[in-house]
Amino acid sequence: MDEVDLTDRAEVQGDFETGLNADDQLELRVWLRLLTCANLIERNVRQNLRETFDTTLPRFDLMAQLDRAPDGLTMGALSRRMMVTNGNVTGLIDRLVTEGLVERRPAPGDRRAQVVRLTRAGKRAFDGMTPAHADWINEMFKGLGRQDMTALLRLLAKLKQSLAEREGQEK
């Protein structure tokens, strides 16, 4: 039997980089590896949030933003911070309001805007999740030393800067 083996045994647990050549452009390799790491972390957090607290990552991210802004945020500020569209935030907030975790009220002085903030229950729920969340993240970064992390933080800052510059240009 010399048929092609479609199960591709070399790829037991592939990712975006699988099949990429070492002589491909460095930039692409960095980007794909970055994406792989982000996906692995996201997947882990998502699963933990579901199993431990029966909630979702977008809900958690949104609540984390509100937790850091005790005076509340407008819908627009929220969507900028979460880097998602306005419409997306509208839907998420709708659901969180229904669940009683978030409250929406008209912004003083601007009848177009809404200010959103955590309710008492929302704050309580979020505080209950924070420690476990921190543990998960810490656990995932266990393989990196303090030096590694500061180096990584610095390089990512530089990349972020490089990315932010070309955001303004747009068109």
Contact 120, 127 (CB under 8 A): no
Burial class (CB in 10 A: 0-12, 13-18, 19+), 118: buried
Q: Rule CB under 7 A: choose which of 25, 52, 90, 130 binds DNA.
A: 90
Cα separation values, 131 from 64, 83, 126, Å: 13, 25, 10
Q: Rule CB under 7 A: choose which of 92, 101, 118, 125 binds DNA.
A: 92
Supply the minimum distance, in Å, between the C-beta of residue 142 and its own copies.
6
CB under 8 A: which stretch of 94-102, 119-127, 150-158 binds its own copies? 150-158
Nearest to 96 by CA among 123, 127, 136, 69: 123
Cα separation values, 72 from 77, 82, 102, 103, 137, Å: 10, 14, 10, 9, 26
Whichever of 77 and 129 has its CB closer to its own copies, that residue is: 77
Residues 55 to 84 in contact with DNA, rule: CB under 7 A: 56-59, 74-77, 83-84
The reply on whether position 91 binds DNA by CB under 7 A is yes
Instruction: Extract the tokens encoding 142.
Output: 């266990």
The reply on whether position 109 binds its own copies by CB under 8 A is yes
Residues 3 to 22 in contact with DNA, rule: CB under 7 A: 7
Q: Rule CB under 7 A: choose which of 63, 89, 101, 125 binds DNA.
A: 89
Find which of DNA, its own copies, none residue 31 binds, CB within 5 to 8 Å per kind.
its own copies
Q: Three-state DSSP class for 17?
A: coil
